[in-house]
Amino acid sequence: HVQLVQSGAEVKKPGASMKVSCKASGYTFSNYGISWVRQAPGQGLEWMGWISAYNGDTNYAQNLQGRVTMTTDTSTRTGYLELRSLTSDDTAVYYCARDDSGLSYFDSWGQGALVTVSS
């Protein structure tokens, strides 16, 4: 069955960078992409962007342009989310989700990774 397993919780200082991983199994990795969605404490779900595991094409949310990079490693079936210049507003649970086009529904999700930004 489809499974997405994410890296663990992290604590970061303001101004630092974070990198979360998402290892996929149970499907043909290159036939899909990965979207990243975050949820700040007490807030709703925010789509951050998408990367194609086929060719590396990306679409990022406009408010994160310049601070975010999404990558994939097809040899290990893993997606990565990097976010730079962190502030307390970036404290959130970060989810990866399988997404075939960057404008789709999210039928499988990782378990989430809590990133706390605090001095």
Partner 1 sequence: EIVLTQSPATLSLSPGERATLSCRASQRVATHLGWYQHKPGQAPRLLIYDASTRATGIPARFSGSGSGTDFTLTISSLEPEDFAIYYCQQRSNWPPTFGQGTKVEIK
Closer residue to partner 1 in complex, CB, 17/101: 101
Which of 73/107 has CB closer to partner 1?
Answer: 107
One residue of 10, 16, 23, 106 binding partner 1 per CB under 8 A: 106
For the chain, strand residue ranges (E) read: 3-6, 10-12, 18-25, 33-39, 45-52, 58-60, 68-73, 78-83, 92-99, 113-117
Residue 62 phi, psi dihedral angles, 5° rounding: -60, -40
Contacts of 10 (CB under 8 A, 6+ apart): 18, 20, 113, 114, 115, 116
Interface with partner 1, residue 46, by CB under 8 A? yes
For residue 42, state whether it binds partner 1 (rule: CB under 8 A): no
Report the residue number, 10 or 46, with the smaller CB distance to partner 1. 46
Tell me the closest approach of the beta carbon of residue 113 to partner 1, in angstroms.
11
The reply on whether position 100 binds partner 1 by CB under 8 A is no
CB 81 within 8 A of CB 17: no
3 binds partner 1 (CB under 8 A): no
- Least Cα distance to 46 among 100, 98, 94, 106 occurs for 94
Site membership for partner 1, residue 59 (CB under 8 A): yes
Which residues are at the interface with partner 1 (CB under 8 A)?
A: 35, 37, 44-47, 59, 61-62, 95, 102-107, 109-112
